[in-house]
Structure 1
């Protein structure tokens, strides 16, 4: 299997508006509109590769620690059979166990992270793991390559400049939404490529939080932040990394 697609219907790690647990179901439903040939890429990705729908992780909505273990075990099991894993959430908490399973197979990863928030925040409400902390947890466990990772699209308010200092200390550079709007997608994509070179060729983990997009494009996100990327900009980024 070249690519396994795994759903994670979990949003108990969200601190604001829930609902992301319905994401996998909605993505599957709407994917029926997609025909095999993608004009912009001139490819037939679902026909040229062996892609399978691996179903959903059976995940508890009642406890984050239990859910993290279940997501990790689910991702690890699918990675035994598949070369690559595409995970649909679900809130961003799932990135921590998904990266843990990925790093277990491939080694520490170079993170390319599209989001309006850093998601490297410390514990909140006595909870170590939540949707704002997945990459801090990954860094604490040595799951990220020492250098080379990049946040893209950051624009949300934070608690203090220390939040950015923390992220820098973890080896993750930041391209804000303003950087993308002012410098352009291709110039920023080249920065991300150069950053990856610092990782020594580490495997790439691409994480896209839907709130990287402007609320005019994705109003249903749990944590909307105005001034975000537009759909065509995000698509241009992803295509630039082929």
Structure 2
């Protein structure tokens, strides 16, 4: 039969080593490290949630937009489905930029060379619009890389500082009992654990989100190719109707 006094002491030790108690018992340096890691973890999860939700919506909308013009992609005007898409949608931004460039240069197709120049301008405008849209989509993503790279070292700094305090406590009390050093070591290891809690999800989801952005970028690139094919076909038909001169 267990001794009630031993059970009470064990419960008191367990309570004293709870995360909240570890934070309250830590010195100012370790507390600062813990707060920084908690803030970094919260910011990382906010970025992760925003990127995952947005990319899911973009992929779903891209499928719907491409399906809406699968057999007939207008090049002289923006298709209604794309016109109704949000202005921040990268696919819609690229499409609008390409159509606007064609509309500005549609009257400059008096020869074969001018037709090729128009196609080149549309291609460049589309690529630039794609790059700008994907850069915007990658905003705040480097924060995850930073958290993943720095988080463990910040936690390690808290660990080293906590262990130093524990050794100082041993020297001051002249007592090597585990009860003397346990709280300080627990605080130190708690900082390390928080560093890993912040860093591991950041690294995992940084790779996941980067892959999703890369896959979406390939869809945008494929769409640019489809638009250029439709544009070339449209210009060829227009040249046949108007007796296009060869440069």
TM range, smaller chain: under 0.3
TM-score, normalisation: structure 2: 0.19
- With a CA cutoff of 8 Å and minimum separation of 6, indicate the structure with the bigger relative contact order: 2
More strand by share: 1
More helix by share: 2
